[in-house]
Amino acid sequence: MKAIILAGGYGTRLQRDLQSDHNGPYKHLLGMPKALLPIGHLPLISHWMKVLESVDFVDQTFVLCNDFYLKQFEHWLKDWPGVTLISDGTTSNENRIGAVGGINLVVEEGNIQDDIMVIGGDTLFYGDFKLANILTEFKEHKSKEAEASLVLGCQCTEEETSRFGILEIDPVSCRVTAFLEKPGPEITKSRTSCPCFYIFSKHSLPLIRNFLQENKDGPLKNRDATGHFVHYLFSRQPVFVHNVSSRFDVGALSSYIECHKYFLEQDQSTS
């Protein structure tokens, strides 16, 4: 299995928050990509590297960045020489290629013909996230249905449904039956959000290209949010759900502070 960490975004909301707080205690984060933000005592992306090192099932890791932040990622890469860094060649939020396009770029440039684990470079999870357990569950589904993919689900509040992609799930099989992008709470009874962590079967890789081709003339937002591909995939190949308690999406300064504080406390409790 190959891991792809998506770190090609520009963090416009976070940078806007930091500019408004330019004299505050976090002003040193200005101009820093979200994946390299210090979380606890490590850059966010390094937390993922340590998680990936803890399992044998992932034999290669790719990090997708952009040209604007390329030098910062090259500096980070000195501590992780086994990682393959790929830039999408973009220089601003206006000419970005979107997250699904980024996944396809890595698949093509890396000549990947394997199952892929896709990880959002601005996402971390609470302590009940156990990658070994998730991989075991994926392998069990795969042994029964070769085309099976696995996504994470975590509970959200009624008010949060309009902020996230929401999964509807068969309660017996844990198979995805619907994916709704930021629905109002009156649209669905489900309160299971779908964070950016997926294990896509190698059989789904041609569908990524098909999805992009079918949406090439549509707005970028249709190719940017990875959930749109989950929506495309579940009706064509089986997609199952592994539930975790919650997640951190480091999209704004407030969510960064919350995540940073949590991991600092975790570091202190284990020291």
pLDDT for 271 equals: 55
Q: Nearest 5°: phi and psi at 179?
A: -130, 125
Provide DSSP, 190-249. Answer: --EE--SEEEE-GGGHHHHHHHHHHTTTS-THHHHSHHHHHHHHHTTS-EEEEEES-EEE
Q: Nearest 5°: phi and psi at 207?
A: -70, -25
pLDDT for 77 equals: 97
pLDDT for 146 equals: 96
pLDDT 10s digits, 17-34? 999 977 789 999 999 999
pLDDT 10s digits, 46-97? 999 999 999 999 999 999 999 999 999 999 999 999 999 999 999 999 999 9
2-270 fold = Spore Coat Polysaccharide Biosynthesis Protein SpsA; Chain A (3.90.550)
pLDDT 10s digits, 241-259? 999 999 999 999 999 999 9
* Mean pLDDT value of segment 219-223: 82
Mean pLDDT computed over every residue of the chain: 94
Domain ranges of the chain: 2-270
For the whole model, what pTM was predicted? 0.95
- pLDDT-derived band at 225, boundaries 50, 70, 90: confident
pLDDT 10s digits, 95-148? 999 999 999 999 999 999 999 999 999 999 988 899 999 999 999 999 999 999
